Amino acid sequence: MTFHHHSAIPYRREIDGLRAIAIVPVLLYHAGFEWISGGYIGVDVFFVISGYLITSIILRDLAMQRFSMLHFYERRARRILPALFFMLGACTVAAWAWMTPEELRRFGQSLVAVQLFSSNIYFWQTTNYFSPAAEELPLLHTWSLAIEEQYYLLFPILLLIIYKSGRLKLTAVTLALAVGSLAVAEWGARHSPIANFYLLPTRAWELLAGSLLAYWAPAVLRGVAGRRFLIEVGSFIGIVMVMFSIFMFDASTPFPSMQALLPVVGTILVIALATPESVTGAVLSLRPMVGIGLVSYSAYLWHQPLIVFARFTELDLSNPLAKTALALASLAIAFFSWKVVERPFRERRLLAGRSSLFAASGFGILALGGTGLMLQVGDGYPGRGDDNALRTSVSEFATVGNGWCFFSVDSIPRLPLGPAALGCVLGDRSAPQRGLLVGDSFAGHFEPFWDVLGKHSRFGIEAVTTNWCFPSLGDRYTGPATSRAREQCDFNRNYIASSLQNYDFIVVAADWRNVLKQGMLNDALEFIAETGRDGRLVIIMPTPRRFDRDAFGRMQRASFFGSPIAIPTLTLTDDTIAVEANRLVQEFSHALPNAIFLTREQIFQVGGTPSDLTIDNITYSADGRHISVYGSMAAAEEFRHTDEFKRLRTAINAATKK
């Protein structure tokens, strides 16, 4: 069976409208609107559209015997590179002006990765897309561009090799690759979620789905012609599937996985059936929808850096008006980029010749890549500000990777699951008194705190902590179901349940805010009650202040550039639930004769006065959520001189005698 493609692929307004459906949720999601919890799904919609359109173009050229790889990559270069270079150049200027040396050095690394179309690999190695740290990376979004470019390097070769064998064989091969890719994604979502999110082998099936539609699109359109009911119902179901994914998926959804079939199949239905005569097609073809769709590429390029650099300013990003303004600003800059940069190159008004375009593209890649290398070699150019102001600040978080106990299997893939998480003792390891610290990362960040207290007062404390593993007797878990930490958490809890009798006292800590928000606080309270049922001392740590942005990074930039330290002015909108959660846990502990709840004010203070800054005028916070190694140790040094610690030490001694 051979292909029959028209000499020209007709422009479809409804596909540009579908691009609007894809880009707007992405903008709102990254701007911080929590009600659009699956906004990242927009990228998957783009993948399907891209696979469909690119394959349609290649098939047309092959059918007309005019396809060439040079022409194909010229089109790709005209489409992608001018707007990308424009955005990267602006980001480099902003990064130089606003970033600390370490931030600028890492920016340089990502800038090089973008030029090599391998930023997905770079971010796979360095960043969890859904982590707080991702909010400070202006080029994080380029991972999806890298996926597409890697696909464009390989897929045209496949078409060239198999095209003459006919549509059925090409369909069989492509379908086999797509099914294989989906199977790997389903496995990866549960065993290696970060790699699964970023890499081509687990994303290729989404692009291949669009390619499969392109093979059969003419036949599909002929088959449904005149069948109004099928067109209306099918296209409507498709758009509902996409919208359901956007509003119902969230960061805990295994992704990409079998669940990603929902938006992918929905997108296919819309492309295949949403003709201009259908209601869905008519809505997607409305002028505002098409207008947003036309500038969607530039909007995608600009939204991430705009939001990231806005976080470096005094703009209150907890304010819905500020979030909306950022989303609208992304569209405004996108229109400028589309009008002034994208269109002139795509319409050959600039660099009309192929050789001149390739030469300019090569120069741009070398210039930006060279700039990135210089930023790395120059260690972020500390001479731009006061580098001495940074040397006393330690922002790292306590993990087994830097000498502590927190078994972060979610962010350190090399860590084996199971008993390797046990046996890490803080404080005085030779002391007969032995405590146990249990919980999630919010227990992990208190490890330096208890290490200082233990060494000072001669007791040891074993830490059994891992990601999202709040103290519980059950199997509920606050993190993504796909995280490796889920299995580690089960192991930790089994160990704790069977070993409590070996410890004189227990310290429990968690992100009580998240536990309460997910409706699991009673699980933790039951653990506290059961742990202390035989008279064992239970010490409960509070959830620290939750700032609306990276408090430590904010302080670092202020110190480096000689601006006032603005930590007290940071907004605390996200802290409201944390305050309520702390209150509920504290009230519960008051009803237990052998439980002690340490408040924020007791732990984070200087000379008895509650403070967000240490005695050295440095924030306790590492990222606006967790406290740093430095902050944890500084808090302990202050706390050990307080009357509250004397009472706590007396309670520990009494518990030991029992």
Q: Are residues 131 and 274 in the same domain?
A: yes
Q: pTM here?
A: 0.85
> Terminus-to-terminus CA distance in the chain, angstroms?
84
Is residue 418 in some structural domain? yes
Q: Are residues 361 and 457 in the same domain?
A: no
Q: Are residues 349 and 275 in the same domain?
A: yes
C-alpha distances out from residue 596 to 42, 367, 588, 645, Å:
47, 60, 10, 11
Is residue 362 in some structural domain? yes
pLDDT of residue 165: 85
User: Which of 513, 566, 546, 559 has the alpha carbon at shortest distance from 622?
Assistant: 546
pLDDT of residue 148: 96
SS3 476: coil
What is the spatial distance between Cα 96 and Cα 68, in angstroms, rounded to a whole number?
A: 41
The four Cα atoms 277, 282, 286, 290 give a dihedral, to 10 degrees, of -80
| Structural domain boundaries enclosing 550 | 400-657
Beta bridge partners of 627: 621
Token code pair at residue 327: 């989303």
Is residue 1 in some structural domain? no
**Confidence category of residue 566, pLDDT binned at 50, 70, 90:** low
Token code pair at residue 522: 């009673």
Q: Are residues 368 and 404 in the same domain?
A: no
- Of 348, 380, 412, which marks where a domain is finished? 380
What is the spatial distance between Cα 233 and Cα 241, in angstroms, rounded to a whole number?
A: 12
- Of 380, 408, 437, which marks where a domain is finished? 380
Is 70 exceeded by the pLDDT of residue 7?
A: no
Q: Are residues 244 and 152 in the same domain?
A: yes
Is residue 244 in some structural domain? yes
**Confidence category of residue 88, pLDDT binned at 50, 70, 90:** very high
Q: Are residues 107 and 151 in the same domain?
A: yes
Q: Are residues 218 and 324 in the same domain?
A: yes
Is residue 309 in some structural domain? yes
Q: What is the CATH number of the domain that holds 412?
A: 3.40.50.1110
Task: Render the burial of 504-532: b for 16+ CB within 10 Å, e for the rest.
Answer: bbbbbbbbbbbbbebebbebbbebbbebb
Q: What is the phi-psi region of residue 166: left when phi exceeds 0, alpha when psi lies from -120 to 50, beta otherwise?
A: left
355 within 8 A of 78, measured Cβ to Cβ = no
Is residue 290 in some structural domain? yes
pLDDT of residue 98: 93
Q: Are residues 163 and 261 in the same domain?
A: yes
- Of 320, 347, 380, which marks where a domain is finished? 380
What is the spatial distance between Cα 390 and Cα 619, in angstroms, rounded to a whole number?
A: 12
Is residue 353 in some structural domain? yes
Q: pLDDT tens digits for 161-180?
A: 988 888 899 999 999 999 99
Q: What is the phi-psi region of residue 270: left when phi exceeds 0, alpha when psi lies from -120 to 50, beta otherwise?
A: alpha
Tell me how many domains the chain contains: 2
Is residue 613 in some structural domain? yes
Q: Are residues 161 and 93 in the same domain?
A: yes
Q: Are residues 280 and 370 in the same domain?
A: yes
Q: Are residues 354 and 440 in the same domain?
A: no
pLDDT of residue 492: 97
pLDDT of residue 390: 67
Q: pLDDT tens digits for 294-316?
A: 999 999 999 999 999 998 887 77
What is the spatial distance between Cα 140 and Cα 3, in angstroms, rounded to a whole number?
A: 39
DSSP of 364-415: HHHHHHHHHHHHHHTTT-GGGS-GGGGTT---PPP-GGGTS--B-TTT-TTS
Q: Are residues 357 and 447 in the same domain?
A: no
Is 80 exceeded by the pLDDT of residue 571?
A: no
